[in-house]
Amino acid sequence: MGEEIAKTRFEPADFDRFAERLAAETELAGSLFRDKRFSEDGFTLGFEIEAWLLDHGYFPNSINEKFLQTLDHAMVVPELSRFNIELNCTPRKLEGNVFSAVAGELGELWAHCNRVAHGLDANIVLIGTLPTIREDDLTLKNISALKRYCALNNEVLRRRNGRPLRVDIKGREHLLTDHGDVMLEAATTSFQVHLKTPARLAHRYFNASLMASGAVMAVSANAPFLFGKSLWDETRIPLFEQAVDIDGARSKNHRVTFGNGYLQSSIFEIVQENRDHYAPLLPIAFDEKPEALRHLRLHNGTIWRWNRPLIGFEEDGQPHLRIEHRILPAGPTFLDMMANAALYVGLVHELVETGFDESGDLPFAEAKANFYAAARHGMAAELYWPPHGRTVAETLLLDEIVPMAAEGLRKLGIEEDSTRFLDIVRARARGRRSGADWQREALSARDGNFFQMMAAYCERQRAGAPVYEWEA
């Protein structure tokens, strides 16, 4: 979904042609899997971070086109709305001080973005959902000037026969609203981890990512508010699931999903599921050779699994496999985001190294329940984890999950970064202080004034200390 397309509306012939090419590329991908032609070359890490452009009142500032032109940096690109941008980093081998190196690179890029934003009389912020956003901000007048976003909106609404999208989120309060376009998706900003794995192990790292998601989510949440309502600790999750809900409750195969089960032997099972159970959403015809798998990759990009397998290519053209871990919110700081990434990477590596992912001890239904419980309740959630049964997330993190992640990072040769970043996770768990926890405490301390809370949030984010050190 990161590439531009040529048209915004489609004819039946476009869908027929796309389906034919998707079927052919799926068969070709099957042969690549059978012939073991995907890269087995170690582990690589990459990241995407979505951010907000704000005015001085902490409202969204729809200037991303001007901002990006002024910035002129290949690693910063537009997002769905005119008030969002996306930052990327150089992929790095998973070794040594990789998390510190990425934090340094992204920190320098962020400082450059801040300078440009200030020159445009604007601010930028990293946060999962923006507490000061208004429903009127999420309209098509603020959609980015890229055809792929208009096409996405047109197709979602066409599939729904023009019916508005309904958001119904029951958290600490209840939000019920109808919306006439897909711009609700723009209210969710995330930090996405890309983990390239040896191809023979990719399905196991995918399953391990599903298993890890609940515990990682519990300590990482940073999106408790939307439209003045106190909802889930990670409100991004239900909001995004409902923001592009094409078929509604009638369908098992939602476009935004935790999935329907673990993989048995290969990532190709996802490729087949995409072809068999998801209708094409953006039927663009590409001229490249089938080996580029352009139609297959575009189709996969319109199915937003919270853990999503991706096919990419090495510099020499060899295809590779990676897992896109999509559950994490943006912010509160780069140190917090690197701590979340270190927890995720170390944990999934240890789950695979010890065979936990193949033991059958954590049924898929429990992994899925863990994810949604953690998104809703954060560190207060009760999570199922063998052999302990149901345990409060903060206890499970300190007693089991963080030590497992530390061992996984040690096996990867990342011991110095392990101590630095997992200590941040430990401190958050001990103090029950995620970004969501801080936001709720800070809002209460300011008698419910979201603007004062956002002023304090932005000030502390600029200072750069991890959120567990922030005063409310």
Residues of the chain with pLDDT under 50: 1, 249-250
Three-state secondary structure call for residue 9: coil
The string of DSSP letters for 207-220 reads HHHHHHHHHHHHHH
285 is written with which tokens?
């015809």
Say if 18 falls within a structural domain: yes
Say if 3 falls within a structural domain: no
Q: How far apart are CA 66 and CA 5, in angstroms?
A: 21
CATH number, domain with residue 347? 3.30.590.20
List all residues 6 or more positions away from 210 whose beta carbon is below 8 Å from its beta carbon. Answer: 258, 259, 262, 307, 364, 367, 368, 371
Say if 6 falls within a structural domain: no
Say if 5 falls within a structural domain: no
Say if 4 falls within a structural domain: no
Q: How far apart are CA 176 and CA 165, in angstroms?
A: 11
Say if 209 falls within a structural domain: yes
Q: How far apart are CA 231 and CA 234, in angstroms?
A: 8
pLDDT for res 51: 98
Per-residue pLDDT tens digits for 153-175: 889 888 888 889 899 999 999 99
Q: Residue 443 is part of which domain span?
A: 12-469
Quote the number of domains for the chain: 1
pLDDT for res 246: 81
Distances (CA, A) of 431 to 215, 341, 380, 438: 16, 20, 12, 11
Contact 153, 81 (CB under 8 A): no
Distances (CA, A) of 291 to 30, 86, 296: 12, 28, 10
Say if 369 falls within a structural domain: yes
Say if 86 falls within a structural domain: yes
pLDDT for res 377: 98
pLDDT for res 250: 45
